Chains A and B, each alone.
Chain A
Amino acid sequence: MVEKSQFVFTGSGGQGVITAAIILAEAAVLLENLNAVQTQIYGAAARGGATRTDVVISDTEIFYPKVDQANVLVCLTQEAYMKFSPIIRPGGLLITDTRYVRIERTVDAIHKELPMYQTVMDKIGKPIVFNICMLGALTALTRIVRQESVMKMLEDRIPPAFLDMNRQALELGFELGTAAAA
């Protein structure tokens, strides 16, 4: 699905959606020889405020760097879901977390509700890797980049002491995504 894929990750400041977006785009550029552009809405608010980050991945040159209609929309909070669900492209993919998002409207998209937060808390017990679990699920569902590429980027940017936890979260997410794709 490469040609031109447009991702929007939304959630709450501190959940790591921007970090996840950077890792995805970086993996695409450095390890998959694709073009990628990542932008984010900058606000004075940080932790706790609504955040949004856009990633465009393409095998051709990318001009307009933002996303008007998302092929893939990830919503990790109710507020983000209410605000951003209209931007999904008809037939696109919507990924939400069962713990944080209650579905209130139907969107013309394939909707995957995944227990990402719950799985991370049950198996790892640290909410800090929630975003990496999401990235694993997204990778399994879209196959936009290889799971190894994401893992390689994590190895480059995460201190060794935290690497195992992130690897585990990525794998848990990948399993959730693979199961949901079937």
Chain B
Amino acid sequence: MSNNIRFVQGNEACVEGALYAGLEFFAGYPITPSTEIAEQLSSRLPKIGGKFIQMEDEIASMCAIIGASLTGRKVMTATSGPGFSLKQEALGYAIMAEIPCVIVNVQRGGPSTGIPTHVHQGDVNQARWGTHGDHAIVALTASNHQDVFAMTVEAFNIAETYRTPVVLLFDEVVGHMRERLVLPEPGEIPIVERLRTSVKPGVNYHPYLPREDGRLPMSDFGGVHRYNVTGLYHDMWGFPSDEPKIINELLHHLMDKIEHRTNQLARFKEFYTEDAECLLISYGSSARSAREVVEKHRQRGERFGLLELLTLWPFPSDLIRQKAAGARLVVVVEMNMGQMCQSVRLAVDRPERVFLSNRVDGVFISPSDIEKTLHLIQGKGV
């Protein structure tokens, strides 16, 4: 038996990915269906010299990882809907202060405490707009454990590269399901390390003064440089400012560093999309049922295709417009009331051909659920 093959839950695949990416600090408050992430890290992190803290709540957990990240550590927290709501304020702080961190949300049914042990994908728009004010965010997802691992590594790499929080938006089915995971060898997936300043101790360091390439080198907080960090609009020293020019430039910088890289950040998979007349678009566990449907129709010689999104935000509008261009029918498969479907309609030409196939009763959407929608769309009845 190869030592690199594991049979694990999706939550464990996320843990393996985080450790592979160099996670050193985790603060969290356990919540179904994400609990296994905290549980596993509580034993794994101390063994490699990392820190695990179970905080008093989700707000404190989010604040703790922000502080730890500033000191130079790779950090993560994990939660589900109710906890993700609580984290929103501090998430905004991390966006404003440009602090790399990874926030996992294993989605369950909401609003409020909702349905803790059943699957939903209702936090898609919350991941985009949960915190107040204009801002940009990166949110990634996956439908199988190999991708959960890869996207978790990717989340850390993006967080470090762009000094931004990255949301990993998994769901209960992927989180709890067990399947094969092949652990990559060290070095097989590139890891982005923290970009630290070359400014010498005792010399003035400007935390928000970009290099020529636009990147902002960091200095471990509490180390050799003194500087200010704030959620207020700030100048290159990190001190609050109400200068209209500074406010305007900082807001544009925060938006542009993500939104201008939408195509570069778009991770996706496609199956038979080239000639698809009926294009299914899906993500997370729903994409598994969508794939089953597509494979079945292809076997019958029908032109079905699947576009599986791994990057949900920034929304890959160009990609979707392109892939959907030739399709007669576009069906978005998701477990919410059409959150992604809405964005797809905005992205494509002829939005009247975009339909939603969903399920919102806590039961995992099945291939036959999708078939029923297809029958309805095609006027064949159910």
Do A and B share a complex?
A: yes
A contacts, CB < 8 Å to B: 22, 25-26, 29-31, 35-40, 42-44, 62-66, 68
B323 interface hit (Cβ, 8 Å)? no
Q: Are B288 and A63 in contact (CB under 8 A)?
A: yes
Interface residues of B in 296-316 (CB under 8 A from A): none
* A63→B288 CA distance, assembly (Å): 5
B48 interface hit (Cβ, 8 Å)? no
B195 interface hit (Cβ, 8 Å)? no
B346 interface hit (Cβ, 8 Å)? no
Highest count of chain B CB atoms <10 Å: which of A30, A35, A40, A63: A63
What are 24 pairs between A and B in contact, CB < 8 Å? A22-B178, A25-B7, A26-B178, A29-B5, A29-B180, A30-B7, A31-B1, A35-B179, A36-B7, A37-B178, A37-B179, A38-B178, A39-B177, A39-B178, A42-B32, A42-B172, A42-B176, A44-B117, A63-B291, A64-B288, A64-B292, A65-B285, A66-B364, A68-B368
B110, chain A: closest CB distance, angstroms: 16
* A38→B176 CA distance, assembly (Å): 9
Q: Are A37 and B33 in contact (CB under 8 A)?
A: no
B118, chain A: closest CB distance, angstroms: 7
A24, chain B: closest CB distance, angstroms: 11
- Given contacts A29-B7, A30-B5, A31-B1, are A62 and B117 in contact (CB under 8 A)? no
Q: Are A43 and B117 in contact (CB under 8 A)?
A: yes
Q: Are A63 and B7 in contact (CB under 8 A)?
A: no
In terms of DSSP, what is the predominant structure of the interface of chain B? mixed
Highest count of chain A CB atoms <10 Å: which of B1, B180, B292: B180
B344 interface hit (Cβ, 8 Å)? no
B116 interface hit (Cβ, 8 Å)? yes
Q: Are B7 and A65 in contact (CB under 8 A)?
A: no
B120, chain A: closest CB distance, angstroms: 13
Q: Are A65 and B288 in contact (CB under 8 A)?
A: yes
Residues of chain A with a CB closer than 8 A to B33's CB: 42
* A46→B292 CA distance, assembly (Å): 31
One of B5, B116, B117, B367 near A64 (C-beta < 8 A): B367
Q: How many A-B residue pairs have CB under 8 A?
A: 60
Residues of chain A with a CB closer than 8 A to B364's CB: 66
Interface residues of B in 344-371 (CB under 8 A from A): 364, 366-368
B148, chain A: closest CB distance, angstroms: 13
B295 interface hit (Cβ, 8 Å)? yes
Residues of chain A with a CB closer than 8 A to B367's CB: 64
Q: Are B179 and A42 in contact (CB under 8 A)?
A: no
Residues of chain B with a CB closer than 8 A to A37's CB: 177-179
Q: Are A64 and B366 in contact (CB under 8 A)?
A: yes
* A108→B366 CA distance, assembly (Å): 24
Residues of chain A with a CB closer than 8 A to B177's CB: 37-39, 65
* A63→B290 CA distance, assembly (Å): 9
B159 interface hit (Cβ, 8 Å)? no
Chain B: CB-nearest residue to A37 = B179
Q: Are A66 and B366 in contact (CB under 8 A)?
A: yes
Residues of chain B with a CB closer than 8 A to A25's CB: 7, 178
* A150→B172 CA distance, assembly (Å): 28
A33, chain B: closest CB distance, angstroms: 9
Q: Are A65 and B1 in contact (CB under 8 A)?
A: no
B183, chain A: closest CB distance, angstroms: 13
* A36→B178 CA distance, assembly (Å): 8
Q: Are A40 and B7 in contact (CB under 8 A)?
A: no
* A31→B364 CA distance, assembly (Å): 29
Of all A-B residue pairs in the complex, the 4 with the closest CB atoms, nearest first, are A42-B117, A64-B292, A63-B292, A38-B178
* A31→B5 CA distance, assembly (Å): 10
* A62→B291 CA distance, assembly (Å): 10
* A37→B289 CA distance, assembly (Å): 14
Q: Are A36 and B179 in contact (CB under 8 A)?
A: yes
Q: Are B179 and A62 in contact (CB under 8 A)?
A: yes
Residues of chain A with a CB closer than 8 A to B291's CB: 63-64
Residues of chain A with a CB closer than 8 A to B289's CB: 63-64
- Given contacts A40-B176, A42-B176, are A30 and B366 in contact (CB under 8 A)? no
B173 interface hit (Cβ, 8 Å)? yes
Chain A: CB-nearest residue to B117 = A42
A151, chain B: closest CB distance, angstroms: 14
Residues of chain A with a CB closer than 8 A to B1's CB: 30-31
Residues of chain B with a CB closer than 8 A to A40's CB: 176
A6, chain B: closest CB distance, angstroms: 13
* A37→B176 CA distance, assembly (Å): 11
One of A31, A35, A63, A66 near B180 (C-beta < 8 A): A35
* A66→B119 CA distance, assembly (Å): 13
The contact string, 1 if C-beta is below 8 Å from chain A, for chain B 153-185, is 000000000000000000011001111100000
Residues of chain B with a CB closer than 8 A to A29's CB: 5, 7, 179-180
